C-alpha cells in the first residue's frame, strides 16, 4: 500500500527540480499524477519517467499563471482520472536579482504572477472537484524568503509571503469541506536553482561565489542544504491521511536554520 493510494494529484512546475522529484515520488506512493508545466519536452520527460516505473501520469502543457491555463490543468485532471483531491502549487520563477531602484514593474508582475497568481488560480479551479470528492489537500511550496526575506529579490519575497498568507486564509475557508491547506518553506535546496541564486547574489553584492555558497550552508546547523527529496517527502505526507488534522501550517525545511 502506498501513502497516496487512490489520490489524484496535480503538481505544477513538474518539468524539473522539486516538481519532477515530487511527481515521481507521488506516483511511487500510488497517486495518479497530473504533471503540469510550460515546457512541453521536459514535462513529457517527467511523465515518461513515471510511466516507465509503472506509475500513472499525464502531462498538461499550460501556464498555471494565467486563468485559461489553470482552468485547463484542472479540467485535464478530471478528464483523465475522474476527479482531483490533491494539489501541489510548486510552479514559480524566482525572478531577477537586482536592487529595488532597478526592479521594474514588469519584473514585479512577472514574478508575483509566476509564484502567487498561479497558486491562487490552480486552487480556485481545483477546489470544486475536491469539495465534490469530500476531501482534499493543497500544499503550497513557498520559501523561507517569504518568512525572513532575501535582499535584492523583492518580488520573490513578496510573492512567497503572499503564498503563506493564502495558505492561512484558505485553511480557514476550506476546513469545513474536509480540505487541508499547508505550506512548505524550504531554505536552500541543492540543485541548479540555488546555484543560480548564489551566483546572482554574489554578483549583486560584489563577493566571491564560493564564499556566498559557504554562507548559505554555514547558517544551517546541520551544515548542509536540503534536497528535492526532502521537500517532496514532506509534501507527500501532508497530502496523505496521516496528516488529516494538519492544516493552516507553514513548515520550514531548512537543515535546522531558524525560521525567523
Q: Give me the active site residues, please.
A: 156
Cell 507521488 locates to: 26
Q: How far apart are CA 154 and CA 174, in angstroms?
A: 30
CB distance 199 to 209 below 8 Å: yes
Neighbouring-strand partners of residue 141 = 184
Q: How far apart are CA 187 and CA 194, in angstroms?
A: 10
Cell 478528464 locates to: 79
Nearest to 259, CA basis, from 152, 142, 159: 142
Residues in the chain: 260
Grid coordinates of 201: 547574489
Beta strands in 23-160 (DSSP E): 32-37, 56-61, 86-89, 136-141
Nearest to 64, CA basis, from 24, 14, 16, 133: 14
Amino acid at each position: 500500500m502506498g501513502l497516496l493510494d487512490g489520490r489524484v494529484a496535480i503538481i505544477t512546475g513538474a518539468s524539473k527540480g522539486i516538481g519532477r522529484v515530487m511527481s515521481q515520488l507521488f506516483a511511487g506512493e500510488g497517486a495518479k499524477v497530473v504533471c503540469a508545466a510550460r515546457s512541453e519536452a521536459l514535462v513529457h520527460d517527467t511523465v515518461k519517467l513515471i510511466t516507465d516505473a509503472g506509475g500513472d501520469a499525464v502531462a498538461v502543457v499550460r501556464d498555471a499563471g494565467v486563468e485559461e491555463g489553470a482552468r485547463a490543468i484542472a479540467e485535464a485532471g478530471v478528464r483523465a482520472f475522474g476527479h482531483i483531491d490533491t494539489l501541489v502549487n510548486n510552479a514559480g520563477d524566482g525572478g531577477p536579482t537586482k536592487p529595488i531602484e532597478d526592479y521594474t514593474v514588469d519584473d514585479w508582475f512577472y514574478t508575483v504572477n509566476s509564484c502567487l497568481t498561479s497558486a491562487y488560480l490552480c486552487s480556485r479551479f481545483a477546489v470544486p472537484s475536491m469539495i465534490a470528492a469530500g476531501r482534499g489537500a493543497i500544499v503550497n511550496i513557498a520559501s523561507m524568503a517569504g518568512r525572513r526575506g532575501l535582499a535584492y529579490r523583492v518580488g520573490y519575497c513578496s510573492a512567497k509571503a503572499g503564498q503563506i498568507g493564502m495558505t492561512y486564509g484558505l485553511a480557514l475557508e476550506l476546513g469545513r469541506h474536509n480540505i487541508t491547506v499547508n505550506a512548505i518553506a524550504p531554505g536552500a535546496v541543492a540543485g541548479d536553482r540555488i546555484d543560480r541564486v548564489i551566483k546572482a547574489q554574489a554578483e549583486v553584492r560584489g563577493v566571491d561565489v564560493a564564499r556566498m555558497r559557504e554562507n548559505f550552508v554555514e547558517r544551517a546547523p546541520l551544515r548542509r542544504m536540503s534536497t528535492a527529496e526532502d521537500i517532496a517527502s514532506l509534501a507527500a505526507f501532508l497530502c496523505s491521511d496521516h496528516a488529516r488534522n494538519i492544516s493552516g501550517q507553514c513548515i520550514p525545511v531548512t537543515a535546522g536554520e531558524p525560521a525567523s
